[in-house]
A and B are shown apart, each in its own frame.
Chain A
Amino acid sequence: MNETVLFYVFGTMAVVASLLVIGQRNPIYSVLLLIASFGALSGLYVLLEAPFVAVIQIIVYAGAIMVLFLFVVMLLNAPHEETEHDERVHPLMQRGPMRFGALLAMALMVELVWALTSGRETGPFGAAAVSSVAALGRSLFGPYAFPFEVTSVLILVAMLGAVVLARRETPDE
C-alpha cells in the first residue's frame, strides 16, 4: 500500500520534472529539474529494492555528470534561450544533416513505441541480483558484458558527434 503511494509520488515527480526540463527557457533551471528527476528515479530504485543502483544513480548522474553540465552552463553564462531568431522551420524541411537527424529521431520514436507496446517480458531479474553488489558486478561483467561494453562505444560516438557539431567552421581551411 505504502509502496504504491510512494511509487506514484516518485513517478509523478520524475515525469513532471522531466517535462519541465524541456519547457524551461533558463538552462540553469533545466539542469536543476533534471537533477530532481534523477532524485525521483533514485527513489523508484529504492522501491525496487535496489539501494545500490539508487545510490549510484545519485553519485554518477546527479553528483558528477550534472555538476559538469552546470559548470558548462555557468561558464557560458547563457541566460535565456534566444527566441527572436527562431525561424520555426520544421527540421524535416531543413537541409542536409538536420533532416537526417529528424529522420533518426522519428525512427527512435517508432522503436520506443514498439518496444513499450509489444509487451514482452523483460525476464526475471530478482531482487537479490540487484541488491547485492557482488551479484550486480558478476552479471555486469558476465552475461551483460557485451551490452555494457557496447554502451560505452555508443557514448564515445555521441561524444564525437557533439565535438563535430560544436566545431567552429573556418572558411579558409
Chain B
Amino acid sequence: MYAAGRVARMTPLLVAQIVLTLFVFVMLLNSAAVMVYVERKVAAMLQQRLGPYLVGPKGLLQPIADVLKLMFKEELRPKAADAFLFALAPILSATCAFAAFAVVPFGAETTFFGLLSEPIKLQVADVNVAILVVFAIASMSVYGIVLAGWSSNSKYSLLGGLRSSAQMISYELSYGLALASVLVMANSLSVTDIVNSQSGTWLGVLPRWFVFIQPVGFLIYMISGIAETNRAPFDFPEAEQELVAGYHTEYSSMSFAMFFLAEYINMVTVSAVATDLFLGGWHGPFLPASLGWIWFLLKVAAILFFYVWMRWTVPRYRYDQLMRFGWKVLLPIAVVNLLVTAAAVLYFNL
C-alpha cells in the first residue's frame, strides 16, 4: 500500500525524466542532421560557393535527402572481413557517442513552468563523478574506430584504425590534464557544481567563467578535443588524400551513417562539456535562470561553428608532426598548467 502510494507520487517526476531522456536522444540525432547542413553551408561560404540550395528552402531539407539516400543504399561487407566485429564497430561508436552526453547538464533546475511539483535537473543522469564518466566514455569510443579498421581487413582501414588509436592515446593525456585543472579550481567532480561555481561576475562586468582564469587549459582542451573527435586539422584516421576514407572505407549505407552520426554527436558533446567547464554553462546576462538553456545552446553553437571554421581553414598536419606536437608541446604545457593551478589554489586558498 505504502509502496503503491510512493509510486503514484513519483510518477510525474519519473515521466518527466523519461521524456527528458527521449528529448535529449532526439535532439542529439537532430543536432547531427543540423551539423551536416551547417558544415556544408559554412564550407561553401568559406570557399565562395553556394552549397546545397535545391532541396527545400535554402537547401534546408538536404540532411533529410541525405539520410533517405543512405537508407536506400546497399549494405556491403568485404568477403574477408570479420563479420561479428565489422557489425559491432559502428554500433559501439554510436552508443559511446550517445552515452557520453547522458551526464552533461544543459540548464538550471526547472519545474517546466510550474508543471512539476519538484524541480528536476536538465540532465539525463546526475552522477557525482560526472566529468570522469564523460572522459571514460570518450576513451572507450576509440574502440569503434579501431575495430572498424581491423575487421574490414583492408590496408587503408587498418592504417586508419592504427592512426586513430595512437592519436587518441596521445591526446587523451592532455585532454584529461586540462579537465583536471578545472576540477582543482572548482573542487568538485560534478559538472553541475562546476557550472554553479562560475556564476556571478568580477567587478560587475566580466563573467566569472573559468576560461578567463584558465585560458591555457581552455586552449589545451579545445585542441585535444579536436584531436579526440578526429576532426581536421587532426583527421588522420580518415585522411582522404592518403587513406581513401580511413577506418570507414569499407562501410556503406546506414553503418557508415552511424560513424558519421557518432562523429557529429562527439563534437556536440565536446562543445557542451567545454561550455559547462570553461564558459559558465547556462549562466549569462539578460536572461532569467529558467531560460539559461538558451545561453547554453548559443555557446555550444559558437564552439561548433569554430569547429567547422577550423576544418575549412587549417590544412592537415603531417602525421609525425601530430605526434610530436601531442607529446612534446601539448603534454608538457598541460602538466605545467595543472601544477601551477594546483599551487595557486593551495597558496591563495581558493
Q: List residues of chain B with CB within 8 A of the CB of A145.
A: none
Contact B189 A133 (CB under 8 A): yes
Contact A64 B132 (CB under 8 A): no
Which of the 9-residue segments B33-41, B53-61, B137-145, B254-262 touches chain A? B137-145
Question: In the assembly, what is the distance between CA of A62 and CA of B96, in Å?
Answer: 13
Contact A74 B132 (CB under 8 A): no
Contact A28 B85 (CB under 8 A): yes
A11 interface contact, C-beta 8 A = no
Shortest Cβ gap from B181 to chain A (Å): 15
A67 interface contact, C-beta 8 A = yes
Question: In the assembly, what is the distance between CA of A10 and CA of B165, in Å?
Answer: 28
A70 interface contact, C-beta 8 A = yes
Contact A68 B132 (CB under 8 A): no
A103 interface contact, C-beta 8 A = no
Shortest Cβ gap from A65 to chain B (Å): 10
Task: Take A55-B129, A55-B132 as given contacts and tell me if A71 and B166 are in contact as well, using a CB distance cutoff of 8 Å.
Answer: yes
Question: In the assembly, what is the distance between CA of A71 and CA of B135, in Å?
Answer: 20
Interface size on B, residues (CB 8 A): 27
Task: Take A51-B129, A55-B136 as given contacts and tell me if A67 and B142 are in contact as well, using a CB distance cutoff of 8 Å.
Answer: yes
Q: List residues of chain B with CB within 8 A of the CB of A133.
A: 129, 189
Residue among A58, A63, A68 with most chain B CB within 10 A? A63
Shortest Cβ gap from B147 to chain A (Å): 8
B127 interface contact, C-beta 8 A = yes
Contact B129 A64 (CB under 8 A): no
A156 interface contact, C-beta 8 A = no
Q: List residues of chain A with CB within 8 A of the CB of B128.
A: 51
Shortest Cβ gap from B83 to chain A (Å): 13
B146 interface contact, C-beta 8 A = yes
Contact B132 A59 (CB under 8 A): yes
Q: List residues of chain B with CB within 8 A of the CB of A28.
A: 82, 85, 150
61-101 of chain A: CB within 8 A of chain B? 62-64, 67-68, 70-71, 74-75, 77
Contact code string A15-58 (vs B, CB < 8 Å = 1, else 0):
00000000000001000100100000000000000011001101
Contact B146 A63 (CB under 8 A): no
Contact code string B48-78 (vs A, CB < 8 Å = 1, else 0):
0000000000000000000000000000000
Contact code string B142-156 (vs A, CB < 8 Å = 1, else 0):
110011011000000
B250 interface contact, C-beta 8 A = no
Question: In the assembly, what is the distance between CA of A75 and CA of B146, in Å?
Answer: 11
B169 interface contact, C-beta 8 A = yes
One of B135, B140, B162 near A74 (C-beta < 8 A): B162
Task: Take A28-B85, A64-B139, A74-B158 as given contacts and tell me if A56 and B146 are in contact as well, using a CB distance cutoff of 8 Å.
Answer: no
Residues of A that sit less than 8 Å from B by CB: 28, 32, 35, 51-52, 55-56, 58-59, 62-64, 67-68, 70-71, 74-75, 77, 133
